Amino acid sequence: MVKFIVRRLLLLVPILFGLSLLLFVWVRALPGGPATALLGEKATPARIAEVNKSYGFDRPVLTQYLTYMKKVIHLDFGQSIALRRDVTDEILRRFPATISLAAAAMLFAIGIGVPLGLMAARRERTWFDFTAVTASLVGVSIPVFFLAQILKYIFALKFSLLPTIGRLTTTRHLKIHTRIEVIDSIIAWDGGALWDSIKHLILPGIALGTIPLAIIARITRASVLEVLNEDYVRTARAKGLRTRAISRGHVLRNALLPIVTVIGLQTGLLLSGAVLTEQVFTWNGMGSLLADGVIKKDYPVIQGGVMFLAVVFVLVNLLVDVLYAVIDPRIRVS
């Protein structure tokens, strides 16, 4: 297992090198440039040349790339052109918000999606199965921003039950430890801040987690249906085992591999930043950082943010592969 993990980590090197090269070329192929976006109406040829020189954009592309890679090796993604702050510090400041939002969305998706798919498979071709499949199709089809607006209207404007923006009430002060408000409030032993942070997570978590929930429910249903038709399940039924024991000991464990796969992929995607959800709920995470970087042609932010998220995505998939070996010991042998 250790050799497998080390081998996967070593594969990160060529993957990230190729990604950095493609990203570097793509960013510089965008129309306009950071100087034009930064200066706006004040963009004269002289001012543009001055900005390009100060950030090294007037050098040969190969020289720029080699300089950039030297910094990346030392985990230095440069300084943001628009924000005038260190990109690494900005990523570390924004990423905890993305983690908390992704965790809330996946808890919602897994907590409902897996039981829903399991019950739909056990009640195949019944009204419950039909309703679950229809609901999952609707969940995949509805746009995130539209669902977010509906949730805000019902739970915030109509009934005033939940907050609509931010991660914590502006009048509440909480000492920062991890920049994840739920954890910080637990560390501070502040029950009011804990409940406040949870309330701020509910609406964006539901809006962001609806599509993963629908996908997880459909994959769970399909995987469980496939396992239910296996010979060992029929044998267990013939022996007189209870339905709950069969589901827990035979069905769910053998159906877990595709479920874990889709959960891992969805988690990696959510950790990449939810641009629309963050914009609707004013949630300053990685999605809004990268969106602003693209709009403002902020090369260091785009390159640093995408590289960082690529590492996160690969590590999440590595965790999924390790879970495979835990779920099915035969994978360790292969």
334 pLDDT higher than 60: no
C-alpha distance across the termini of the chain, in Å: 11
Confidence band, pLDDT 50/70/90 cuts, at residue 199:
very high
Give the residue-averaged pLDDT of 58-86: 84
332 pLDDT higher than 70: no
Model confidence pLDDT, tens digit, residues 254-270: 888 889 889 988 888 88
Check if the beta carbon of residue 105 is closer than 8 Å to that of residue 209. yes
Give the residue-averaged pLDDT of 229-233: 77
The domain locations on the chain are: 2-73, 89-333
| Architecture of the 89-333 domain | Orthogonal Bundle (1.10)
Alpha-carbon torsion (250, 252, 257, 258), positive or negative: positive
Give the residue-averaged pLDDT of 4-10: 77
pLDDT for res 331: 64
DSSP state letters, 292-321: HHHHTT-HHHHHHHHHHHHHHHHHHHHHHH
Please tell me the distance from the alpha carbon of residue 285 to that of residue 83, in angstroms, as a whole number.
15
Of the two residues 286 and 237, the one the predictor is more confident about is 286
Lowest mean pLDDT of 92-106, 179-193, 224-238, name the range: 224-238
Check if the beta carbon of residue 80 is closer than 8 Å to that of residue 303. no
Of the two residues 243 and 154, the one the predictor is more confident about is 154
Confidence band, pLDDT 50/70/90 cuts, at residue 105:
very high
248 pLDDT higher than 80: no
Range 124-144 burial, b when 16+ CB lie within 10 A, else e: eeeeebeebbeebeebeeeeb
At a CB cut-off of 8 Å and minimum separation 6, what does 233 contact?
Answer: 227, 246, 250, 251
Phi (first) and psi of residue 332, to 5 degrees: -65, -35
Give the residue-averaged pLDDT of 134-146: 87
Confidence band, pLDDT 50/70/90 cuts, at residue 330:
low
pLDDT for res 205: 92
327 pLDDT higher than 70: yes
Give the residue-averaged pLDDT of 327-331: 69
Confidence band, pLDDT 50/70/90 cuts, at residue 212:
very high
Q: Which pair of structure tokens corresponds to residue 197?
A: 């942070």
Give the residue-averaged pLDDT of 28-47: 73
109 pLDDT higher than 90: yes
Tally of CA atoms within 13 A in the half-sphere of 251 that contains its CB? 29
> Looking at the whole model, is its pTM more than 0.95?
no
